[in-house]
Amino acid sequence: MKSAAPTFSLAHGVQLLQGGVQLFPALVQAIDGARRSVHLETYIFDTTGAGGDVALALVRAAERGVSTRLVVDGVGTGRLPSPWFERLQAAGVQLRVYSPLGPLGLLLPMRWRRLHRKLCVVDGQVLFCGGINILDDYHDPNFGPLAAPRFDFAVRAQGPLVGQAQSAMEQLWWRMQAVHDMRQHHLPEAVHALREAGVGAGVGPGGAMRAALLLRDNLRHRSRIERAYRRAIARARHEIIIANAYFLPGGKLRRALILAARRGVRVQLLLQGRYEYFMQYHAARPVYGALLGAGVEIYEYAPSFLHAKVAVIDAQARRPWATVGSSNLDPLSLLLAREANVVVRDRAFAAELRARLCQAMAQAGQRVEPEVFAQRPWRERVLDRIAYALMRSALWVTGNRY
């Protein structure tokens, strides 16, 4: 099914937040001020360090009678460890795990469809959206303490898109509730939950900005985020800057970047330079050659893990385009996971995001030179090809073409 172009609404106030150091205090403040409802979705919910501050805010909200819902992914988080699981439940936080892994785990391709979006709506008035998990900037569940903070972004938004986000979150919540009730053979409750899944939400006021919420799912919006990227890249006239953690664009998106570079647009990519996962790290390398050959500039970020999923196009032109969200430009995000991005058409916002990305490239980005890349050791090239082949084989198993 083809996805329509995103609908931009006026009267939005969108604020850029870099890292948990800016997001978590704003999130805690909003939750502590909640009077009616807090609804939070995240891939990873880790209570180490600053993540514990968010968990405590949820506890305080539930204890004072605010309807508090928390949805975590079954792979990214799974079951919360004690004593936090018991503490959240005792306070009245309603907790759901999206697609928990069964005995066969990820051996079943159906389990590869994950909840990867990071959304929080408070009182139907304010939205937080981006790539930042509930995870301390200086902590990694697999690698432990980090010497430098993770590089990532989110936004705080008000206006019509808040209602859109809340409606999507309500639908997922009640569908999950319906599945739970049907498994427990509570059919009347399941029917009620499915009816509730169609309930919309109110919206709050905001400042004068143009913004849109892009959601990716496996039903109505299968390619919405990728198409938005491709449209914006095709319309670029001066500059494209993309920062993406796991970068393995499909053929159409790759060709769009190459065509932009060939028509004179400056294309800069800030990508992961620190080894994190075998597949994501090595499978991206085989696409570097064609991009570098077309004149695309590639910078690798190495001080810490780059986790951003952002882009800014023609920030200084008449029609700037910027996006901040959870979607990587790889097949897992663009074909399988539930994702959420906010797109903003505003010069001040685009200029701020551009400045932060340019600073990261200048101060912490190692430029990939075409000659050096072509002469990388044979062992690296073999690993790159193996990872790339494995990724394509996995896509074949799911029945997707990319």
Task: Report, in angstroms and rounded to the nearest whole number, the Rg of the chain calculated over CA atoms.
Answer: 21
**Single-letter residue type at 119:** L
Distance, in Å, from the CA atom of 315 to the CA atom of 321, rounded to the nearest integer, reads: 7
- Among 307, 330, 346, 384, the active-site one is 307
Distance, in Å, from the CA atom of 167 to the CA atom of 161, rounded to the nearest integer, reads: 10
Task: Give 266: exposed, middle or buried? Use CB within 10 Å, 0-12, 13-18, 19+.
Answer: middle
Structural tokens at position 159: 């206006």
Query: Which residues does residue 179 pair with via DSSP β-bridges, in sequence order?
Result: none
- Among 309, 330, 346, 384, the active-site one is 309
Residue 252 designated active-site:
no
Residue 123 designated active-site:
yes
**Single-letter residue type at 148:** A
Q: Which helix (H) or strand (E) holds 95?
A: strand 94-98
- Among 12, 39, 73, 118, the active-site one is 118
- Among 314, 330, 346, 384, the active-site one is 314
- Percentages helix, strand, coil for the chain, rounded to the nearest 5? 40, 25, 35
Helix segments in 206-315, DSSP class H: 224-235, 251-262, 278-283, 288-293
Residue 116 designated active-site:
yes
Shortest CA distance to 45 belongs to which of 34, 54, 35? 54
Distance, in Å, from the CA atom of 116 to the CA atom of 44, rounded to the nearest integer, reads: 9
Residue 309 designated active-site:
yes
Q: Which residue has the tokens 């909640």?
A: 34
Residue 73 designated active-site:
no
- Among 116, 139, 221, 282, the active-site one is 116
Residue 186 designated active-site:
no
- Among 123, 137, 330, 384, the active-site one is 123
Query: Which of the residues are catalytic?
Result: 116, 118, 123, 307, 309, 314
